[in-house]
């Protein structure tokens, strides 16, 4: 399947490329060093009108398709993966569950401010003892009159320090297993709700990664998202879409690392020749280019199927798995091509390498993706 971008997709690609080069790239190294969240970048993205890119215009969104969203994530990640993951999570994890399962009133109240960039979207699924096994959720929600009382904790949550509300899962009926897990929209300023941001991470330093602690947090009955007992299913569906975002991030990081390697190989001289004159280096760069193109096509295919309203679970898992593993390999080879300089921060590929690793872990590890694919092919 070959993808020719539509006029709108091509315009979004150009706009996001120009924005990434002009506004995101210049401060990326400094943000990585200082762990400074890119607030100014997101203020500018809000002015650009892309914070609700794939959501309906009725709620302040851009009405664009999923391929356009993937393009936007790729272009941001190509220069700064911390910005890419913040944007991807804002849309695919923050906005998507409300868009997919929310009532009209919930969308007006909670999706609109996300689309207009008033605050960032976040999503609370992972817990200290429930990572790949999301069915092991321990956070509970109990109905008292017309209020849900929620207690528990979540970990590794992206963007929560910059969210005013977020969707999260809690057990409403322990006896039903995963059918007893429900989803709720919870304001982050509710009494008993604490957001902690003190993880020391390997990469993605400018991204906001948090722990959530809920101690008898009360939300009104109408803050239930979707049907009671459907939270687990809803969040699995949300992750299918999120995997397109992670795949797009991986493609962007790989593209950035490849471009830097190609440029370096042309100017770096060894034994009287540029590196790019050596077949060993040519083959590395050829493999990079080929695999990035394959990964991009897989991401676009999953996005296209989603836009057609067709099943895309298998394709999203394949795209996420292949793109994240290729992203890691490309970054590894990018460091290798740069030699000793690749190990130094000045040449940026070491940042790409550190940032890429999370993509084999987040939103379903590589092992989980293989389990999803195996089930989809009838194993």
What six digits make up the tokens of 249?
């991030």
List, in order, residues 6 or more apart from 6 with CB less than 8 Å away: none
Catalytic residue list: 363
Look at the block and give the residue holding tokens 């990018």. 334
Please give the Cα distance from 116 to 112 (Å, whole number).
6
Nearest to residue 156, comparing CAs of 94, 84, 91, 208? 208
Q: CA 77, 82, 86, 89 torsion: positive or negative?
A: positive
Which pair of structure tokens corresponds to residue 217?
């947090």
- Which residues, 6+ apart, have CB-to-CB distance to 66 below 8 Å? 54, 241, 244, 303, 304, 306, 307
| Helix 313-338, helix 366-376: angle, nearest 10 | 140
Neighbours of 21 (CB within 10 A): 13
356 vs 252: CA distance, rounded Å:
10
Distance CA 90, CA 52 (A): 9
92 phi-psi bin (left φ>0, alpha ψ -120 to 50, beta other): alpha
Q: 3-state SS string over 219-235?
A: EEHHHEECCCCCHHHHH
């Amino acid at each position: 399947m070959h993808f020719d971008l539509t006029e709108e997709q091509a315009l979004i690609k150009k706009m996001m490329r120009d924005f990434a080069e002009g506004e995101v790239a210049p401060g990326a190294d400094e943000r990585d060093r200082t762990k400074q969240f890119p607030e100014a970048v997101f203020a500018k993205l809000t002015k650009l009108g892309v914070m609700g890119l794939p959501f309906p215009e009725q709620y302040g969104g851009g009405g664009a398709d999923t391929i356009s969203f993937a393009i936007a994530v790729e272009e941001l990640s190509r220069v700064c993966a911390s910005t890419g993951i913040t944007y991807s999570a804002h849309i695919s994890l923050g906005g998507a569950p409300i868009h997919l399962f929310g009532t009209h009133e919930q969308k007006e109240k909670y999706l609109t401010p996300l689309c207009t960039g008033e605050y960032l979207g976040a999503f609370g699924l992972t817990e200290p003892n429930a990572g790949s096994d999301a069915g092991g959720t321990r956070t509970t929600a109990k109905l008292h009159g017309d209020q849900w009382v929620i207690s528990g904790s979540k970990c590794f949550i992206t963007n929560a320090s910059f969210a005013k509300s977020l969707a999260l899962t809690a057990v409403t009926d322990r006896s039903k297993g995963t059918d007893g897990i429900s989803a709720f929209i919870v304001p982050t300023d509710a009494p008993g709700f604490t957001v902690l941001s003190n993880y020391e991470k390997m990469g993605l330093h400018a991204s906001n990664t948090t722990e959530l602690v809920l101690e008898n947090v009360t939300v009104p009955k109408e803050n239930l998202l979707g049907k009671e007992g459907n939270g687990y299913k809803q969040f699995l569906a949300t992750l299918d879409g999120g995997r397109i975002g992670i795949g797009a991030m991986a493609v962007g990081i790989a593209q950035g690392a490849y471009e830097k390697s190609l440029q370096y190989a042309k100017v770096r001289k060894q034994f009287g020749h540029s590196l790019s004159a050596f077949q060993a280096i040519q083959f590395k760069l050829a493999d990079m280019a080929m695999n990035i193109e394959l990964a991009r096509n897989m991401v676009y295919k999953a996005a296209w199927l989603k836009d057609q309203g067709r099943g895309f679970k298998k394709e999203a898992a394949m795209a996420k798995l292949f793109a994240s593993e290729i992203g890691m390999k490309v970054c590894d080879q990018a460091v290798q091509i740069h030699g000793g300089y690749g190990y130094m921060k000045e040449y940026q590929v070491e940042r790409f390498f550190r940032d890429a690793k999370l993509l084999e872990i987040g939103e379903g590890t590589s092992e989980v993706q293989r389990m999803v694919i195996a089930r989809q092919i009838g194993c």
